[in-house]
Amino acid sequence: MGQPARTIRRAVVTGGAGFLGSHLCEQLLDRDVEVVCLDNFLTGSPDNVAHLLERPGFRLVRCDVTDYVHVPGEVDLVLHFASPASPLDYLRMPIETLKVGSLGTLHTLGLAHDKGARYLLASTSEVYGDPLEHPQREDYWGNVNPVGPRGVYDEAKRFSEALTTAYRTSKGTDTGIVRIFNTYGPRMRADDGRAIPAFIGQALSGRPLTVAGDGSQTRSICYVEDTARGILEMAFSGHAGPVNIGNPDELSMLRLAEWIVELTGSSSPIEFIDLPVDDPKVRRPDTTRARELLSWRPSVSSEEGLRRTVDWFATRLEAAAVTAG
């Protein structure tokens, strides 16, 4: 049993100017929660929260949580979402990724403990590695290569889970852990290296869609509004987790590429490239725990979510062309 749900009036969101973090800030404000958004803009951007700056109760602060975290006043909730999250980013910034998973988690846990706040850690399906169990349940320990190229992200998150649990068991801090599966939607960076923005960018510009391996590897994609809603259901609960937040709608990378070609009306061909080292062959969450504990399930279909995402990228591309022309 978790602690009883608490009233949340003021929240701190680390990585709040990132793709997912910005949606969390937005949904918190919609719930009449004041938001202090902390970000060092390593992979996030002030543009992601520019539309929130005039909203009452929103504050944007440049802050690197691996150095020091100080937030004056009362805090009811700390959401730790600061971290490079795409392979392109964490392979380019391995030390920064490990630091934000270790020191950043330590500092933000300290903030939550000092404030008597609820703490929610953004963990990831990557803690399951290249899974030998399918679908992945929260009690599966994973199959991770700690010295492989993906290890910096996987092990940073596994360590952060252990540290979060230690604060709960030894200090009594009210903590929770969510393991987030592949999330997509508006505000993804076109160049972040993940499959959906890469495929959409390639399709809209008429370039070949580059599919790794033979495209048979699978992912389960969840639209960002659904992911953010599930995360906040966990945040407002008293449960410790870990809880998988994702969409069990599993599809192959080849099917995803073909689908995006269809949705964009593109004539782009599909080309196959080498499979990255330690790339997981399958990925699908068992979401039983999220349904039973949080009464949460995704509501946006993959087709609708991909259509919205394609439209957002197309609008951005058109605006950039007008500006350049």
Active-site residues, by number, are 153
Interatomic CA distance for residues 116 and 132, integer angstroms: 39
Q: Which tokens in the block code for residue 150?
A: 């993906």
> What residue type is assigned to position 35 of the chain?
V
* Helix, strand, coil share (%) of the chain residues, nearest 5: 40, 20, 40
Read out DSSP for 73-108? Answer: S--SEEEE--S--SHHHHHH-HHHHHHHHHHHHHHH
Element at 227 (helix H, strand E): helix 224-235
Which letter does DSSP use for residue 243 in this model? E
Residues 274/214, Cβ–Cβ less than 8 Å: no
Residues 173/4, Cβ–Cβ less than 8 Å: no
* Closest residue by Cα to residue 219 from 307, 87, 312: 87
Beta bridge partners of 197: none
Q: How far does Cα 115 stand from its chain's mean position? A: 25
Interatomic CA distance for residues 301 and 135, integer angstroms: 19
Q: At what angle do helices 302-324 and 195-204 cross, to 10 degrees?
A: 50
Q: Which tokens in the block code for residue 285?
A: 């969450």
Read out DSSP for 119-170? Answer: EEEEEEGGGGBS-SSSSBPTT---B--TTSTTHHHHHHHHHHHHHHHHIIII
* Closest residue by Cα to residue 55 from 71, 37, 72: 37
